[in-house]
């Protein structure tokens, strides 16, 4: 008999893995010999997706494997479907971390990721018959994971709870002991992360919780064997599941436990390695840089202080200098509701010693503030690490800012708003601490792997340097005016659209025509991302078609992908409305190919790799000032989609790079949004004055899309027309529709459209994560590449 596809997949993975292992050892040896400074990227999320193709591309084994498999009568594309996505993240922040470890390895930097090995990653999304979202657990570890290596010798004890006792040591110093704690063990699994440079292989280290035999010792001692063993399993819940909320925090014990579990295992590991290689902890910041991916790992600041003070008996001043020089913090939001805070009472119960240390940090900090501002300044309670209004809470963002030497935003506009609004007082108090590093994406996965035909065409025209030096793409600029090149580019786009059409058919049953304009909005469902603005436009278009069916419309397929957090009622309602609108529009015989609407269920990294290359139009329509950066916008533009977007996040920089003629900008600016909110936003007036809009809202509110339950979507409309509606959806409607009409006009001229599409690919070289990582390396980490001998 023949081997099954899974067995072949396993065999191929193993052979690729063996090649990675050899390079991995060489890389570690080279770092050791160089005594290199190392970077650790701490993130509760790494959305890496599949590894097989990525590894083969980065070690240049792809062509060979494709040939060998062909000889065996099978195809790489078939085999790699057997690999489950590693969905260890929610969205942009997690995917950014995955792009960053690819770039660190490609640049030859000693850079390592740390995260949690969740048994269950991001939930799998399904759609019920009524159009609503359902969730299923993602048990991605069902089959042996080919891309991890369990490191039996790497494991640490993690404490929780208990109490703090003090004692005097021999020299009369007061010392602190954290005792009577619950203990859990953290076990290490390494995922090798190859760079695209012929030699470097770093790793991502994932921690898994394992019951410790010390756990529930009292039960054993009492002879309650069964109780002891069954209770043990509870402690393993710490690494059970990724929290699927990406904007408001659940405030659960278990989430704080996850954060601390992850942080202390990583720090113990980092310090072990450092001490073995360099010994003297005073030199820590010279040899170690730790990046905090948002506030999620910020308890690391208190944990490093605890280790330096309580274990290594350093003085406060010395420990604090080392801590601040070691950490840097990346902020990924401006939404106040997304800034993490934890009740003091929870900290006291789970991490009593850390709470003491945070109080002490805050005490020193507030003294400095009083010195500078005077004791009664209102900035003091505002900047305090402890929030005193209502239930007392630890403000993790404030702790992260105070305990880091650099704080960065993720796009120019975001970093500017951070300095002017979110952290205004901090920026004045710490001049020079705040900076920008604009996000990027790895061109290996987001061009070469996902769009092999385009990659081959580019390489044929300009050589392969673009792979690791993306601004080289600018050499394509002059080709945009060549008709033959435009035809080649257009042909590839069409092939990619056919591939996507097949995926849509498979996942939704809907047939879409690859000759229509593919209009794509893929990202988490959120009010601030305004998928509902897109839906309003779809309904408006539907109305136009119904009124004037013989008019020469530009046929469109509007494609959505994304998940709603299970507890986010409004986001779930948006999904349901979208699916209901799709049902009506797709089955109306008057409409035909003029308009189709689909939600591709369970949007994730793997479907994204099919969607990005197939888009004509990229929807980036957030309320200005609310999307920190966006990274899907970059992937789509690099693959030759034109953006329709607001001046928000990295869209601003995309517009700068490609030029105003090659992007469709609409809507209010961040300043205008702020002004409108200040004066009191009254959307009901807007709806009253715009007939097209009123018609759309009436259809939704009156149950046109939910005949069996006509009030279903009334709350959504009520929100949109309500005073001070926070996302100003209706305010941008007219300008959005106008921009969409400009899109149509442009798309009618296919040659001109393709020219612009090519310019988007050519001019987005800035948005490589290699450039982002080089910025971090130069301006924040102060690390240099160390290249092992090539294999």
Rule CB under 6 A: choose which of 87, 92, 195, 403 binds ligand 26Q: 92
749: Cβ contacts below 8 Å, ≥ 6 apart: none
387 vs 398: CA distance, rounded Å: 10
Q: Which of 429, 425, 420, 464 is nearest to 444 (CA)?
A: 464
Rule CB under 6 A: choose which of 13, 208, 235, 249 binds ligand 26Q: 249
Told to judge if 332 belongs to the known catalytic residues of this protein, a careful annotator would answer: yes
296: Cβ contacts below 8 Å, ≥ 6 apart: 43, 44, 45, 259, 340
Q: Taking CB under 6 A as the rule, does residue 255 contact ligand 26Q?
A: yes
Q: Taking CB under 6 A as the rule, does residue 629 contact ligand 26Q?
A: yes
Q: Cα angle at 634 between 632 and 635, to 5 degrees?
A: 65
- By residue count, the chain amounts to 791
Told to judge if 635 belongs to the known catalytic residues of this protein, a careful annotator would answer: yes
Distances (CA, A) of 731 to 433, 672, 682, 735: 36, 11, 9, 8
Comparison of 88 and 470: residue with beta carbon closer to ligand 26Q: 88
Q: What are phi and psi of 545, to 5 degrees?
A: -65, -40
Least gap, CB of 160 to ligand 26Q (angstroms): 18
Of 87-95, 98-106, 128-136, 746-754, the segment contacting ligand 26Q by CB under 6 A is 87-95
496 vs 542: CA distance, rounded Å: 26
Told to judge if 349 belongs to the known catalytic residues of this protein, a careful annotator would answer: no
Told to judge if 529 belongs to the known catalytic residues of this protein, a careful annotator would answer: yes
Least gap, CB of 628 to ligand 26Q (angstroms): 4
Handedness of CA 728, 730, 732, 736 (dihedral sign): positive
Q: Taking CB under 6 A as the rule, does residue 571 contact ligand 26Q?
A: no
Q: Taking CB under 6 A as the rule, does residue 631 contact ligand 26Q?
A: yes
First to last CA, the chain: 36
Q: What is the DSSP letter of 180?
A: S
For 69, counting Cβ atoms within 10 Å of its Cβ (0-12 exposed, 13-18 middle, 19+ buried), the class is middle
Comparison of 241 and 265: residue with beta carbon closer to ligand 26Q: 241
DSSP-H helix ranges across 45-129: 52-58, 62-71, 76-80, 92-106
Comparison of 99 and 762: residue with beta carbon closer to ligand 26Q: 99
Q: Taking CB under 6 A as the rule, does residue 646 contact ligand 26Q?
A: no
Strands 201-211, 182-194: pairing is antiparallel
Applying the rule CB under 6 A, the residues between 395 and 454 that interact with ligand 26Q are 410, 439
462 vs 349: CA distance, rounded Å: 61
Handedness of CA 274, 277, 788, 146 (dihedral sign): negative
Q: Taking CB under 6 A as the rule, does residue 103 contact ligand 26Q?
A: no
Least gap, CB of 550 to ligand 26Q (angstroms): 42
Rule CB under 6 A: choose which of 48, 96, 599, 773 binds ligand 26Q: 96
Rule CB under 6 A: choose which of 85, 102, 190, 246 binds ligand 26Q: 246
Comparison of 82 and 103: residue with beta carbon closer to ligand 26Q: 103
Q: Taking CB under 6 A as the rule, does residue 341 contact ligand 26Q?
A: no
561 vs 606: CA distance, rounded Å: 12
Least gap, CB of 90 to ligand 26Q (angstroms): 5
Rule CB under 6 A: choose which of 83, 138, 269, 340 binds ligand 26Q: 340
Rule CB under 6 A: choose which of 26, 224, 245, 593 binds ligand 26Q: 245
Of 86-94, 224-232, 770-778, 782-790, the segment contacting ligand 26Q by CB under 6 A is 86-94
Closest chain position to ligand 26Q (CB): 92
Rule CB under 6 A: choose which of 12, 55, 56, 93 binds ligand 26Q: 93
β-sheet bridge partners, residue 176: 166
Q: Which active-site residues does the annotation give?
A: 332, 523-524, 529, 631, 635
Sites of contact with ligand 26Q (CB under 6 A):
90-93, 96, 243, 245-247, 249-250, 255, 332, 338, 340, 410, 439, 627-631, 649
């Amino acid at each position: 008999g023949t081997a099954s596809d899974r067995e072949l997949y396993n065999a191929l993975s193993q052979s690729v893995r063996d090649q990675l292992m050899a390079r991995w050892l060489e890389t570690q040896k080279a770092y050791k010999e160089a005594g290199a400074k190392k970077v650790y990227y701490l993130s509760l999320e790494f959305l890496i997706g599949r590894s097989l193709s990525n590894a083969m591309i980065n070690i240049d084994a792809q062509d060979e494997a494709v040939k060998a498999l062909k000889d065996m009568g099978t195809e790489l594309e078939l085999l790699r479907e057997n690999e489950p996505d590693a969905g260890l993240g929610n969205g942009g922040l997690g995917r950014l971390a995955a792009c960053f470890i690819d770039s660190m390895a490609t640049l030859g930097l000693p850079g390592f990721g740390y995260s949690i090995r969740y048994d269950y990653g991001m939930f799998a999304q399904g759609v019920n018959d009524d159009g609503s979202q359902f969730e299923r657990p993602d048990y991605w570890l069902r089959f042996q994971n080919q891309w991890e290596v369990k490191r039996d010798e790497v494991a640490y004890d993690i404490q929780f709870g208990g109490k703090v006792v003090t004692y005097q040591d021999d020299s009369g110093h007061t010392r602190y002991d954290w005792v009577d704690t619950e203990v859990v063990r953290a076990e290490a699994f390494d995922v090798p992360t190859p760079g695209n440079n012929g030699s470097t292989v770093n790793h991502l280290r994932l921690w898994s919780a394992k019951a410790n035999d010390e756990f529930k010792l009292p039960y054993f001692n009492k002879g309650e064997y069964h109780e002891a063993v069954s209770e043990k399993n509870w402690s393993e819940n710490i690494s059970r599941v990724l929290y699927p909320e990406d904007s408001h925090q659940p405030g659960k014990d278990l989430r704080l436990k996850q954060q601390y579990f992850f942080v202390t295992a990583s720090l113990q590991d980092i310090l072990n390695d450092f001490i073995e290689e360099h010994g003297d902890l005073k030199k820590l910041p010279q040899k170690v840089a730790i990046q905090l991916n948002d506030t999620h790992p910020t308890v690391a600041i208190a944990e490093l202080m605890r280790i330096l003070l309580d274990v290594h008996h350093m003085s406060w001043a010395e420990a604090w200098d080392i801590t601040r020089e070691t950490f840097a913090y990346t902020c990924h939001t401006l939404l106040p509701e997304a800034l993490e805070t934890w009740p003091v009472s929870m900290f006291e119960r789970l991490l009593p010693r850390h709470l003491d240390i945070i109080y002490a940090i805050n005490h020193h900090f507030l003294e400095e503030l009083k010195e500078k501002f005077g004791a009664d300044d209102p900035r003091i309670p505002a900047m305090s690490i402890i929030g005193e209004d209502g239930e007392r809470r630890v403000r993790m963002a404030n702790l992260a800012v105070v305990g880091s030497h650099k704080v960065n935003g993720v796009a120019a506009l975001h970093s500017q708003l951070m300095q002017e609004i979110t952290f205004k007082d901090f920026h004045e108090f710490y001049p020079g601490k705040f900076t920008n590093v604009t996000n990027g994406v790895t061109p290996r996965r987001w061009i070469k792997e996902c769009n092999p035909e385009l990659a081959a065409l580019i390489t044929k025209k300009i050589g392969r340097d673009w792979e690791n030096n993306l601004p080289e793409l600018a050499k394509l600029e002059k080709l945009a005016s060549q008709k033959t090149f435009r035809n080649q580019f257009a042909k590839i786009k069409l092939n990619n659209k056919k591939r996507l059409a097949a995926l849509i058919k498979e996942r939704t049953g809907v047939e879409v025509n690859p000759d229509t304009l593919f209009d794509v909005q893929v990202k988490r469902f959120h009010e601030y991302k305004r998928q509902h603005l897109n839906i309003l436009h779809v309904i408006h278009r539907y109305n136009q078609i119904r009124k004037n069916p013989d008019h020469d419309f530009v046929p469109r397929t509007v494609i959505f992908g994304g998940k709603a957090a299970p507890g986010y009622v409004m986001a779930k309602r948006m999904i349901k409305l979208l699916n209901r609108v799709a049902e009506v529009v797709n089955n109306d015989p008057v409409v035909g190919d003029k308009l189709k609407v689909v939600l591709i269920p369970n949007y994730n990294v793997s479907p994204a790799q099919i969607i990005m290359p197939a888009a004509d139009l990229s929807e980036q329509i957030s309320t200005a000032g609310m999307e920190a950066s966006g990274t899907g916008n970059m992937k789509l533009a690099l693959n030759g989609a034109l953006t329709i977007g607001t001046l928000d996040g990295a869209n601003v920089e995309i517009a700068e790079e490609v030029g105003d003629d090659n992007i469709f900008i609409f809507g209010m600016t961040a300043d205008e949004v702020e002004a409108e909110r200040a004066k009191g936003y009254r959307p009901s007036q807007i709806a009253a004055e715009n007939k097209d809009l009123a018609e759309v809202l009436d259809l939704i509110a009156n149950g046109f899309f939910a005949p069996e339950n006509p009030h279903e979507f009334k709350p959504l409309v009520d929100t949109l027309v309500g005073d001070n509606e926070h996302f100003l959806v209706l305010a941008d409607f007219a300008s959005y529709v106008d921009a969409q009409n400009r899109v149509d006009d442009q798309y009618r001229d296919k040659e001109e459209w393709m020219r612009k599409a090519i310019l988007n690919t050519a001019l987005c070289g800035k948005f490589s994560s290699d450039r982002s990582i080089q910025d971090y390396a130069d301006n924040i980490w102060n690390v240099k590449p160390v290249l092992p001998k090539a294999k």
